[in-house]
Chain A
Amino acid sequence: MSFDVQKVRADFPVLAELINGKPLVYLDSANTSQKPNAVIDAMTHFMQHGYAPTNRSAYQLAAEATDKFEGARAKVAAFINAPKVHEVIYTKNATEALNLIVRSWGTANLSAGDAVVLTHMEHHANIVPWQMLAAERGFTIRWVPLTSDGLLDLSNLSTLLDGAKAFSFTAMSNVLGTINPTAELCAAAHKAGAIAIVDACQAVPHMPTDVQAWDADFVTFSSHKMVGPSGLGILWGREALLDAMPPFLGGGNMISDVKLEGFTYAELPAKFEAGTQPVIEAIGLGAAVDYLSAIGMDNVRAHEQDITVLALNSLNDRFGSDITIHGSTDAALRGATISFAYRDVHPHDISQVLDQNNVCVRAGHHCAKPLMRLLGANATVRASFYLYNTPSDVTALCDALSEAGDFFTL
């Protein structure tokens, strides 16, 4: 199927909005993505015609709602090539999915003397939960360093992994755009006897994902970054691991039986899904998966790679030594998330000028402060592109940046 970005854009109503009379240039998809009509309509239709509780009531409407809710789970499983549908767990967001792994698997498996390996390019969501548990359990955290061009420095990986129980890493950096060799890293973890946990928040929305080809043990990602609604994250885990883990949150839905003396918990996936679930959001994510699948994730990746090449070249051609792009300059090794410094103008001030032209970028530390310290910056500007961005968005970014440069000529 051929990829037509204008056709894609027509699916996203917000992209046709004029703000203060000017079109929207949305370059913040690494933060959160916009939503196509297919997702909006599916959620609206479900609320108008099919909303009911799931997995607990016997009437027809509830049974149909349950089918749709579970059907969305099956779509997600197929999208990431999960071996079993019940290995896909709904969570509040990807952060909660990572916390679930740390609290449930970590509490059962980590104690003083153990080690967990993370990388210097992790999002706080894949750092802080480990630090919280480490403070209680006394295990150590080891860090995979980076090379000067923003790739993982794997030269010492086997030493770092030696004796470690888990290796948890991002499939793609939310700051540098670096795409990590996930299958290779999973294999290295397994060779050392560690489990492999993949934070795939930035990868699943942008490229084909195959958890079996990765040979990962846990994979987490969020709905809202992949054109689905907010309020929903996904944890995929190997059945054997999930079965062996204690429950995370307790309450309704996750139990098999409750007596005054105690409880027994439900089978997967309900075991990890306490309380009323984000049913409408799951329907929306199912529609998002259908939408992305129809376009084809290979096409999404190819389009973003083209935009990345164009953006890197345009920024370098127009701003030369005034701009410092963090991370790799090789579009084959990175996604369409580009962080940069522009002269000595503070990112916040740049984003303010860009905002005058409706160019939406993120300025800040991107929830990755250890990485920012490594870059020697307390903030960067980050422009992140997705399937609906066009070459003219790149031009708009460059034009607005040039205006910011003029304004802040010191």
Chain B
Amino acid sequence: MPGLEDLYREIILDHYKSPRNRGSLEPPAVRSEGHNPLCGDEIEVFLIIKDGIVDDIKIGGQGCSISQSSASMMSAAVKGKPVEQARALIHRFKHMMSIDEGGEEPDTSAPLGDLEALQGVVKFPVRIKCAVLSWNTLAEALDIAAE
């Protein structure tokens, strides 16, 4: 049986304790909201896209250490990046969480950085939803911004 240290890596607890990009943004920033109906976790993603770049991102809501740290790491990973790169990262992250969305195999050549620490979540299938919540919410925010 996988142990707690497989799940709660130090870097995860660090993001949980000191979440990056926490807060909210006023319109014209877009906002999307994600819920995990199973456990009540809530995530809000605020997004400003400028010239095809994720100019700013803020994260609101509340939830467990996995959902919150995943959101924090995600925000740090996509801020300042082109939208297409953010979308590719969503695809890659969900693939890492064993979620098959079809499409091409993600390009895994670039280092994942802090996000690598969430790899252990796969051994705890119940928690995959926690880890993926913010990514789905980001995908929705990107869709709204593209409209």
Q: Which residues of A contact B (CB under 8 A)?
A: 20, 346-349, 352-353, 356, 363-365, 369, 372, 378-379, 407-408, 410
User: Chain A contacts of B130 at CB under 8 A?
Assistant: 348
Considering the chains assembled together, what is the distance between the CA atoms of A347 and B130 in angstroms? 13
Question: Which of B4, B41, B65 is in CB contact (< 8 Å) with A378?
Answer: B41
A-B contact pairs, 15 of them (CB 8 A): A346-B63, A346-B64, A348-B63, A348-B65, A348-B130, A352-B7, A352-B127, A364-B39, A365-B39, A378-B63, A379-B39, A379-B64, A408-B65, A410-B13, A410-B17
Report whether B40 and A365 are in contact in the complex, using a CB–CB cutoff of 8 Å: yes
CB closest residue in chain B, given A20: B1
User: Given A356, A363, A365, which contacts B4 in the complex, CB threshold below 8 Å?
Assistant: A356
Rounded to whole angstroms, the CA-CA distance of A104 and B130 in the bound complex is 39
Closest to B61 in A: A378
Asked if A348 contacts B39 (CB within 8 A), the reply is yes
**B interface list, Cβ under 8 A from A:** 1, 3-4, 7-8, 13, 16-17, 38-42, 62-68, 124, 127, 130
Q: Which residues of B contact A379 (CB under 8 A)?
A: 39-41, 64
Q: Tell me the bound Cα distance from A105 to B64 in angstroms.
A: 42
A137 to B92 Cα, complex, angstroms:
47
Q: Which residue of B lies closest to A372 (CB)?
A: B40
Instruction: Tell me the bound Cα distance from A352 to B8 in angstroms.
Output: 10
Residues of B within 8 A of A353 (CB): 4
Q: What residues on A are CB-neighbors of B13 within 8 Å? A: 408, 410
Contact between B3 and A348, CB atoms less than 8 A apart: no
| A352 engages B41 (CB within 8 Å) | no
Chain B residues near A356: list those with CB within 8 A.
3-4
The CA-CA distance from A369 to B127 in the complex, in Å, is 21
Contact B66 A348, beta carbon cutoff 8 Å: yes
Central interface residue in A348, A353, A372, A378, by most chain B CB within 10 Å: A348
Query: In whole angstroms, what is the CA distance A216 to B15 when docked?
Result: 52
C-alpha gap A286/B64 in the complex (Å):
41
Q: Give the distance in Å from the alpha carbon of A346 to the alpha carbon of B8 in the complex.
A: 13
Q: Could you tell me the distance between the alpha carbons of A407 and B17 in the complex, rounded to whole angstroms?
A: 13
Q: How far is the CB of B67 from chain A (nearest CB, A)?
A: 8
Tell me if A347 and B4 are in contact (CB < 8 A): no
**Min distance, Cβ B130 to any Cβ of chain A, angstroms:** 7
Q: Quick one: given A347-B64, A410-B17, are A378 and B7 in contact (CB under 8 Å)?
A: no
Q: How distant is B35 from chain A, measured CB to nearest CB, in Å?
A: 9
- List chain B residues, Cβ under 8 A from A407: 4, 8
Q: How far does the alpha carbon of A356 sit from the alpha carbon of B8 in the complex, in Å? A: 13
Across the interface, which residues of B come within 8 angstroms of A348, CB to CB? 39, 41, 63-67, 127, 130
Query: CA A353 – CA B64 in complex, angstroms?
Result: 13
CB closest chain-B residue, reference A350: B64
**Are A352 and B63 within 8 A (Cβ)?**
no
Query: Chain B contacts of A346 at CB under 8 A?
Result: 63-65, 68
Residues of B within 8 A of A349 (CB): 8, 64-66
